[in-house]
Chain A
Amino acid sequence: MTWSEMVPLLWEATKESAYMVLVATLLTAVGGLLVGVALVLTDRGGLLAARPVNALLGLVVNVGRSLPFIILLVAIIPFTRAIVGTTIGTSAAIVPLTVGAIPFYARIVETAIREVSRDVVAAARAMGASRREIVVKVLLREARPGLIAGLTITVVALVGYSAMAGVVGGGGLGDLAIRYGYQRFETGIMIATVVLLVVFVQLAQMLGDLLAKRLSHK
């Protein structure tokens, strides 16, 4: 395979990967923050302590995390159809990517928020802050460097998951590597996709580190 044949394939796959990962990251960030905050608030001693809710939420999160992604991808096909109307293609792949990553990120969010000192929360309560203010201005704000660092880890995991999107015709670099590099023995494609994936992950990590560092004043 020549360069001129490879470049359009690689370009197309890169765009698909970027699209899947970026949209899934945005959705995961929102979903993971909501679930993570809920896990902290409903826990014993939390601002909205509710043990049964907390236990149920924890169970759902753990189930989500224990399923291998490739299984999840297939298992939630009906859900995917209900949401995007189709079960194949790049957009359809975003649904399982998001569903798989939300529990992962939610646990990271939970851990990052627990790092915020109880003293600071008590101080905010003593100043008359409402629960909403405590969540937004204290918990999320103080945990921001950890939340960003955790999102970076999630992005990298999503890059990995997205390699399996080919199963539902999602395309992307991983799919390209399997179809051309593995099944057709196109070593050139294999090497190129690996290099692109490494660059992808490297960029994400650098960006995340930079942002986390800038936001940290510890």
Chain B
Amino acid sequence: MWRVHRHVYRESRSTEPVIRIDGVRRTYRSRGGDVEAVAGVDLTVRAGEIYGVLGRSGAGKSTLLRCVNLLERPDAGTVTVDGVDLSTLREADLRAARQRIGMIHQHFALLSSRTAAGNVAFPLEVMGVPRRQRAARVAELLDLVGLGDRADAYPAQLSGGQKQRVGIARALAGEPKVLLSDEATSALDPETTGSILTLLRDLNQRLGLTILLITHEMEVVKRICDSVAIMTDGRITEAGPVHELLAKPDSALARGIFRLGPPPALDDTTVVDVTVVGDDTLISDLARTHDVDVRILDGAVETLAGGRAGRLRLALPGTAAANAAALDHLRAAAVAVEVHP
């Protein structure tokens, strides 16, 4: 069954959108007045990518995610998943469509009265899979998430990481094309977070699973996201592939990932931030070609899903005008250059 899936994935890997969110708005009425949780969001998730929506709690991420499988009805705008506008479906068809969209939750949302196997069997029961096939499928799914030996354990007997693995196995039961992740690692310790993210990345690659996740943790974006949108007060302020955002000097994402302090004001010195991606001999090239003494004032180098990237704050002796040639060199070689006045 998984093989069929992978085949579909290869064909659709292109840039074809799997999730399209257009002009979605969602307002909550409360005593203190209306709160616009989602204030007009457009977002496109391409097949086979891991897309992260990053924002503080209360930014409307969760509401946005719940609009994708219509747990929450948008007041305006449309959401299409795999070419289907869910809001046009009737109740029974909507339920069928939801079976093809996996979802995992911050607090796992497992049934405490059922074992791990029973929890994974739940969506199969909902889908009407006959009992005999169910057992085989459950075993296969639990193996996939590395929990084959804990099938008979109740959630209360499992660790947080194990519970989320059960949640993931359960979400994959309908062989979904899309997985929605609602802060799936926020209740976990850093080490467990790492192992769950690795599992998600692995499933993304092996099954061609498209993942839309929401998180408030930069770490999650750094570890697995191909694309990211930053959400603030119900709006997307910045969105795109991670490597493209990093190339923008004014990107909030880049500032969040490369945490440099405020630039120092130095006399007769050019202070410049350069962003580099991958292995780079930028600084030695610069020093050799222009015969300047390059000092590194600050810097951050991160391993991101797509490879290594860093932002370095360099000090060159002399004014910016005097260093014009060196700065041109940097602009040609680095993905982003920002000269501080």
Residues of A within 8 A of B (CB): 117, 119-120, 122-130, 133, 137-138, 141-142, 144, 215, 217-218
Contact = CB atoms under 8 A, between A and B. Distances in A.
28 contacts: A117-B107, A119-B109, A120-B110, A120-B111, A122-B71, A123-B105, A123-B109, A124-B122, A126-B69, A126-B101, A127-B98, A127-B103, A127-B123, A127-B173, A127-B174, A128-B96, A128-B126, A130-B126, A133-B125, A133-B126, A137-B122, A137-B125, A141-B113, A142-B112, A144-B113, A217-B155, A217-B156, A218-B156
Interface in B36-92: 66, 69, 71
B168 to A, nearest CB: 12
B331 interface: no
Interface residues of B, number: 31
A26 B155 CA distance: 32
A117 B123 CA distance: 18
Nearest to B69: A126
A128 B92 CA distance: 9
B113 A117 contact: no
Given A122-B71, A126-B103, A217-B154, A142 B111 contact: yes
Given A217-B113, A218-B156, A126 B98 contact: yes
Contacts of A130: 95, 126
B99 interface: yes
Interface in B116-163: 122-123, 125-127, 154-156
Contact of A128 (B66, B95, B110, B154): B95
B17 to A, nearest CB: 21
Interface centre among B71, B110, B111 (most CB of A within 10 A): B111
A126 B111 contact: no
A119 B125 contact: no
Most buried by A among B71, B113, B154: B113
A123 B111 CA distance: 10
Nearest to B103: A126
Given A126-B180, A127-B98, A217-B113, 7 more contacts: A120-B111, A123-B103, A125-B98, A126-B69, A127-B122, A215-B113, A217-B155
Contacts of A142: 111-113
Contacts of B111: 120, 138, 141-142
Interface in B149-188: 154-156, 170, 173-174, 180
| Shortest 9 CB-CB contacts between residues of A and residues of B | A123-B109, A128-B99, A128-B98, A217-B154, A128-B95, A119-B109, A126-B103, A127-B123, A129-B126
A130 B90 CA distance: 13
Which of A119, A123, A130, A217: most chain B CB closer than 10 A? Answer: A123
Contacts of B122: 124, 127, 129, 137
A128 B123 contact: yes
Contacts of A215: 113
A177 B305 CA distance: 79
Contacts of A122: 66, 71, 105, 109
B316 to A, nearest CB: 55
Nearest to B66: A122
A125 B91 CA distance: 11
Contacts of A123: 103, 105, 109
B276 to A, nearest CB: 42
Contacts of A138: 111
Contacts of B98: 125-128
B107 A128 contact: no
A78 B97 CA distance: 53
Nearest to B157: A217
B113 A127 contact: no
A127 B155 CA distance: 19
Contacts of B94: 128
Contacts of B170: 127
Contacts of A137: 122, 125
